Amino acid sequence: NAGVTQTPKFQVLKTGQSMTLQCAQDMNHNSMYWYRQDPGMGLRLIYYSASEGTTDKGEVPNGYNVSRLNKREFSLRLESAAPSQTSVYFCASSLDISGNTIYFGEGSWLTVV
C-alpha cells in the first residue's frame, strides 16, 4: 500500500536554486495539502488543493508555487530557495468532508545553505 509518496526525502540546496517536491497519492482522494514543519511552530499550511483543478493559498504561501497536475499528483515548487525555507515538508491527502482520516507522506527534509 503506497498511500502518499513524496520525493525527495532529503535535499540540500544553495540559496537561489530552484527545486520541486513531488507528491502522489493512490487513494483517489479529492484534497491534497502541503505543510511545512519548523521547530516550535507545528505544521503550517503552505498551499492546498481542495479538488483537481483548484489550488489555494494557506497560511505561509510566499516563496512557493504549486501544481495539481491531476487527481493523484500535487507538486510544490521553490523558485528561488532561501535559508528561511529550510524545513521539513509534508504532503497529505484526504477524502471529502465525510472522510475521517488524513494520510501523510513521510516528509521531505530540505536544507537551504
Nearer to other proteins by Cβ, of 12 and 102: the residue is 102
Nearer to other proteins by Cβ, of 15 and 44: the residue is 44
Phi, psi of 6 (to 5 degrees): -125, 145
Strand 31-38 relative to strand 10-13: parallel, antiparallel, unpaired? unpaired
Nearer to other proteins by Cβ, of 102 and 113: the residue is 102
By CB atoms closer than 10 A (0-12, 13-18, 19+), residue 97 is: exposed
Which residues are at the interface with other proteins (CB under 8 A)? 30-31, 33, 35, 40-45, 48, 50-51, 56, 58, 88, 90, 92, 94, 96-104, 106-107
